[in-house]
Amino acid sequence: MILPIYIVDAFTDKVFKGNPAAVIPLNNKLDSKIMQAIASENNLSETAYVNISSVPFSIRWFTPTIEVDLCGHATLAAARVLFDSYLPENTTEILFSSRSGELKAFKKENLIYLDFPTDIPKPISGKKDIANGLGATPLEVYRGKDDYLAIFNDEKTIKDISPSFEKLSKLDSRGLIVSAPGDQVDFVSRCFFPQTGVNEDPVTGSAHTLMIPYWSKILGKSQLSATQLSSRSGSLCCELHGERVLIGGETAQYMKGEISI
């Protein structure tokens, strides 16, 4: 069996920046065990499989260890591959079906935007294990569908956090997001997912479904700029539209090849 594979750096216009994702277009169903084995072999934070045999295109995402319900950067990467190599030149919108419902990607100027469901943050108290895992005490902690969100005072604090991934891996969530107001953008973040085999994710589109409604309310604006402060870093253009969020970013294709199984 020969499968095409692309690696695209998402939320950046330069290779070796942003978040690399593998994208594998399919014309037929592929066994989940093979999907997981390929994702493990790729050893990237996410491998996206897109079945293009019918519309909407079915999309699934795998970390090196598990399948996840939603992934932003790999959806952005998949949209770039489909727009460039699999769809008519005048196509401006793609519909996906997923474990998180219907998703949309569309072109707007030089960006691709993801249309994802909003994740409303719910305040919680008494999470000393988050402070212990981060080595820093947040101002507030919220819970979303999948992740915890810890809020801090400023960008420098986010940059300086040195977490214990062993402690964070014991949290009852997909992972932990830390966020604060940015110096040059509206908000900054870092994202830790040791439970999924990814200690720190370079740029996490799905985490912004939780951060966008939070910062939109705090800052009193529906259009926001964001930076994820990983070592690779990445930039996101964010919009809140009620029950949906738009997450825009650039992409840079790094590789195109074939998998032989």
The set of catalytic residues is 46
| Share of residues in the chain with pLDDT > 90 (%) | 98
| Share of residues in the chain with pLDDT > 70 (%) | 100
Q: In residues, how long is the chain? A: 261
Secondary structure letter of residue 102 according to DSSP = E
The answer on pLDDT for 126 being more than 80 is no
Provide mean pLDDT across the span 145-155. 97
Number of H helices, E strands in the chain: 6, 18
Give the contacts of 198 (CB within 8 A, at least 6 positions apart). Answer: 45, 63, 64, 175
Tell me the pTM: 0.94
- Residue 137: CB atoms within 10 A of its CB come to 12
